[in-house]
Chains A and B, each alone.
Chain A
Amino acid sequence: MTGPAIILLLAGLGAIAWVSARARAMRLQTVARATGRRDAVHSLPGYHGWYVALWTLIPAVIFLAIWANVAPGLVTQSVLADPAAQSLPLDGFSRSAILGEARAIASGDQAGAFNPLSQGLVEPYRAALNKYGVAGGVLALVLAFAGGAYAFTRVRPDFRARTRVERLVMASLLIASLIAIVTTVGIVASLLWESFRFFSMVNPIDFLFGTKWSPQSAAMGYGNDDAFGAVPLFWGTIFIGAIIAMIVAIPLGLMSAIYLTQYASPTVRKWMKPTLEMLAGVPTVVYGYFAALTIAPALRDFAVMIGIHGASSESALAAGLVMGVMIIPFVSSMADDSIAAVPQSMRDGSLAMGATTSETIRKVLIPAALPGVVGGVLLAVSRAIGETMIVVMAAGLAANMTLNPFASVTTVTTQIVQLLTGDQEFDSAKTLAAFALGLVLFIVTLLLNIVALRVVKKYREAYE
C-alpha cells in the first residue's frame, strides 16, 4: 500500500467520522430538546464531529510518523536475513552502498544496477518493502478505526466534547511555539558541541586574545596555534558593524525619524515612510554587490587621489557605509516608535511654554525618547555585526588590525563563510573554528538583544 493511498483513506475515514458523529449528536440534540431543556446537550454537534474525527486521525498519523522511521530498519533487517545477503562484503561503506542501490532499484528510483551484488538483493528488498508497507497501512487503518469507534461511543448528551476540542487546539498552539524553541535550543547545543571540540584543539585564550588569524597555514600543518587568534576578526566586525555603519545609520536614521514624526505633513509621511522602509526589503546580496562593484572602487580611487596608502579595492569603509544605509530604516523605525511613545502632553507642555519645535525636540523629546533610541541602536548593532553578505562581498579576507578605513579588513561572518566553503574535513580545526566564531557571535548578539530589550521595556513602562 502506498503512502498517498493511506493518507487519502485516512482523510476519508476522518470525514466519515466527522459526519457520522455530528449526525448522531444532532439526533441526540433533537431528542433532548423535546424534553424542553436547551442545555440538555453540552456541546454543539460540530464539536462532537471534531472530537471523533481527531480521535480517528491523530493516533493513526502519529503511528505512521513513527512507522516511517522504524520501517526502513525492519526492511533492512529482513533483507539481511535473506540468503542472498550472505555474500555481502563486511566493510561497512561498500555494504551500505550496495544496500542503497538495491533499495533504489526496488522502489523504482533507479533503473539498473552497477554492482551485480545489489541486483540479487532487489527481489528480497521489494518483498520486504511491500510487506512492511502493507503492515504499516493496515495497522494505521486499524488504529484509526479503533480510535474513531472509542470516541464515537462517547458521543452522549452530557459529554463535554467542546472542552476536549478546545484543549486540543491549545495543545497544538503550544506545540507550534515549542518547535521554534526546541529548534533554537538544538542550534545552540550543536554550536556548543562543535565549539567544545574546537577548543579541545585550540586554547580558548589564544583564540579569544590572539592577534594572528591564519587558519589556512594551521590547517596545512606548517602554522602554529597563534594562527587562530580571532582578535583581528573581532576588530574588523566592530570596525565595520559597530563603528562605520553606526556613524552612517544613527544620525541619518534619527534625523529622518524626527523629520517624519515632527515636521512632515501627513501626505509627505504617507509616501516617505514606506519608501524608507523599502530599504529594509532590499536583499542584502544586492547591497553586497552595490558595495563591491560601485562604492568600493569609487572609494579606492578617491583614496588614491588624496594620497592615502594602503587603499584597497575591498575596504572597511565601503562595507560599513553600505551596511549603514541598510540599517537606516531599522534605526529610524525604532526611533520613530520611541519618539511617538513620548506622550503628546509632553510636547504640548513644551510648546505651550513658548518653545520652538526644534527646542522641544532637542530638550524634551530626545531626552525622553533616548532610552528607546539607545535600545534601537543596540539592536541595530547586533544586526550589523551578524550581517554577512555585504562584508563577504565588499570587506575582503585580509585579517588586518588597522584603523585605516580604506584598507581591507575581515569580519567574523566573512571568515565563517570562508571556513565552511570548499572541501574540508569536517573535524579539522579549521572547520570547527567556524563554530567557535559562530558561538562568539551568538553570545554577543544575544547579550546585545537582551540589554536592548531591557532598556526599551524599562522605558516603555515609564509612560504606561
Chain B
Amino acid sequence: MTEEQTKLAIENPKMSARDVKVFYGDKQAIKGVSIDVGMDHVTAFIGPSGCGKSTFLRTLNRMNDTVASARVEGEITLDGENIYAASMDVVQLRARVGMVFQKPNPFPKSIYENIAYGPRIHGLAAGKADMDVIVEKSLRRAGLWEEVKDRLTESGTALSGGQQQRLCIGRAIAVEPEVILMDEPCSALDPIATAKIEELIHELRGRYAIVIVTHNMQQAARVSQRTAFFHLGDLVEYGVTSDIFTNPRQERTKDYITGRYG
C-alpha cells in the first residue's frame, strides 16, 4: 500500500484484503490488491473491461471457488476472520456476504419462492407466518413490494428486467447479509430501471456494506462514497469518490476518467 492509501485505511473495516493475487491457471488476473471496505459507505470498483474488478469482487465471497482453474493468494478478512482459512465454512460466508449479478438471474420459481429460497436453506424462518414476514420485509427493502404484493405466486422470470434485478437484491437481502456485492447490477437495464436500483443502493447504505462493480463512471460518482480504480489487475488508486473524480493522483486514473481509454 502506498502512504496515501494507508491513510484511507478504515477503522474497523468490515472486509479487508491484503496483497490478494488471483490466478487463472498460469495467467495472473489480480496482482497484489490491498483494500478495506467499510460499513458506512458504498464502495465502487471501476476500471476498463478485463481489469480484474469483477474477479476481485468474486474473491470477497469466494465465488471464484466455482472456477476450477482459479487460485487465490493473500488474505481477505471479514470482521478480522480470514475467509480463506480452512475453518471458514463457505456456505456461512456466502450467507454473510451476498451477491447480485450482472444479469438478473431469478430462479424459475414464484416471486415468493425466490425470496424464500435463502431463508429456507439457512433455516431462518420458524414457520409459514414467519416466512411471510421475511418475504414482505425483503421485498419492501428491495423497493418491489408495492409492485408485486398481489402476484407473489407468479414466476419471477415474468417480471421486467429492472424488477428482476430488484428481486435478486431482495433475495440477497432476505438472508440478512452483512455485505452485499454487486457485479455491474445495472448493465442489463434501461435508464429508468437503473435509476431505481441506484436509489435503492442509497437506501440500503449504512445497513449493509455495499461494494459495486461498474463500468459506468457516472454511476460510480452517483452511488459511491469510495472508489477504487483497477487497471490490468492492479489497484491503481483508491480514495474518496469525489477526490478520484475531481483530483486523481495517478496519471492512469486521470486518463481513464477523462475517457482517454476504456
Chain B minimum-CB-distance residue to A359: B121
Which residues of B are found within 8 Å of A368, using beta-carbon distances?
A: 107-108
Contact of B109 among A266, A345, A352, A367 (CB under 8 A): A367
Contact A349 B107 (CB under 8 A): yes
B103 and A352 contact, CB distance less than 8 A = no
Question: How close is A360's CB to chain B, nearest CB, in angstroms?
Answer: 9
CB closest chain-A residue, reference B63: A352
- Does A421 touch B at the CB level, under 8 Å? no
Kindly identify which residue among B98, B101, B171 contacts A348, using a CB–CB cutoff of 8 Å. B101
- With A348-B66, A363-B121 as known contacts, state yes or no: A353 contacts B172, CB within 8 Å: yes
Interface residues on A, range: 20 to 34
Neighbouring A residues of B122 by C-beta, 8 Å: 354
Question: How many Å lie between the Cα of A353 and that of B109 in the bound state?
Answer: 15
B92 to chain A: which residues have CB within 8 Å? 354
How far is it, in angstroms, between the C-alpha of A364 and the C-alpha of B120 when the chains are bound?
A: 13
Within 58-115 of B, Cβ neighbours of A (below 8 Å) are at 61, 63, 66, 68, 91-95, 98-99, 101, 103, 105-109
Q: Across the interface, which residues of A come within 8 angstroms of B98, CB to CB? A: 352-353
- B175 CB within 8 Å of chain A: yes
Q: What residues of chain B lie closer than 8 Å to A265, measured between beta carbons?
A: 68
Smallest Cβ-Cβ distance to A347: which chain B residue: B66
> Are A351 and B101 closer than 8 Å at their CB atoms?
no
Q: Is B117 an interface residue (CB 8 A)?
A: yes
Asked whether, in the complex, the Cβ of A349 is within 8 Å of the Cβ of B168, the reply is yes
Tell me whether A78 is interfacial, beta carbon within 8 Å. no
| Bound complex: CA A347 to CA B105 (Å) | 9
Asked if A355 lies at the interface with its beta carbon under 8 angstroms from chain B, I say yes
Rounded to whole angstroms, the CA-CA distance of A462 and B108 in the bound complex is 10
Q: Tally the A-B contacts, defined by beta carbons under 8 Å.
A: 67
Cβ contact within 8 Å between A352 and B99:
yes
Tell me the minimal C-beta distance from B201 to chain A in angstroms. 18
Whether A216 sits at the interface, judged by CB under 8 Å, is no
B118 CB contacts on chain A under 8 angstroms? 353-355
B95 touches A354 (CB 8 A): yes
CA of A366 to CA of B66 in the docked complex: distance in angstroms?
Answer: 19
Q: Which residues from B are CB-within-8-Å of A367?
A: 108-109
Q: Give CA–CA (A350, B98) in the complex, Å.
A: 11
Considering the complex, give the chain B residue whose CB is closest to the CB of A343.
B105
Q: Which residue from chain A places its CB closest to the CB of B181 in the assembled complex?
A: A352
Q: Do B121 and A266 touch across chains, with their CB atoms under 8 A apart?
A: no
User: A243: shortest Cβ distance to chain B, in Å?
Assistant: 30
Measured between beta carbons, the chain A residues less than 8 angstroms from B63 are 348, 351-352
Q: How far is the CB of B102 from chain A (nearest CB, A)?
A: 8
B49 nearest CB across to chain A (Å):
18
Closest to A459 in B: B108
Q: B168 — nearest CB in chain A belongs to which residue? A: A349
Interface string of A349-392 (1 = CB under 8 A from B): 11111111001000110011000000000000000000000000
CA of A352 to CA of B118 in the docked complex: distance in angstroms? 10
The answer on a CB contact under 8 Å between A350 and B107 is: yes
A346 located at the interface, meaning its Cβ lies under 8 Å from any Cβ of chain B in the complex: yes
A137 CB to closest chain B CB (Å) equals 68
B-side contacts of A353, CB under 8 Å: 94-95, 98, 117-118, 121, 171-172, 175
Encode contact with A along B165-191: 1 for CB under 8 Å, 0 otherwise: 000100110010000000000000000
B:189-236 near A, CB below 8 Å? none
Contacts of A351 in B (CB 8 A): 63, 66, 94
Q: What chain B residues lie within 8 Å of A348 (beta carbons)?
A: 63, 66, 99, 101, 105
- Binary contact track B154-166/A, C-beta < 8 Å → 1, others 0: 0001000000000
Beyond A346-B108, A350-B107, A355-B117, 10 additional pairs, beta carbon < 8 A = A343-B105, A346-B105, A349-B168, A352-B98, A352-B101, A352-B172, A356-B121, A363-B121, A368-B108, A462-B108
| Residues of B in contact with A (beta carbons under 8 Å apart) | 61, 63, 66, 68, 91-95, 98-99, 101, 103, 105-109, 117-118, 121-122, 157, 168, 171-172, 175
Write the residues of chain A forming the contact surface with B, with a CB cutoff of 8 angstroms.
265-266, 343, 345-356, 359, 363-364, 367-368, 462
* 12 CB-based A-B contacts, threshold 8 Å: A265-B68, A343-B105, A347-B66, A349-B101, A349-B168, A350-B117, A351-B94, A353-B95, A353-B117, A354-B92, A367-B109, A462-B157
Closest 7 interchain pairs by CB?
A: A354-B95, A354-B94, A352-B99, A345-B105, A349-B105, A353-B118, A354-B91
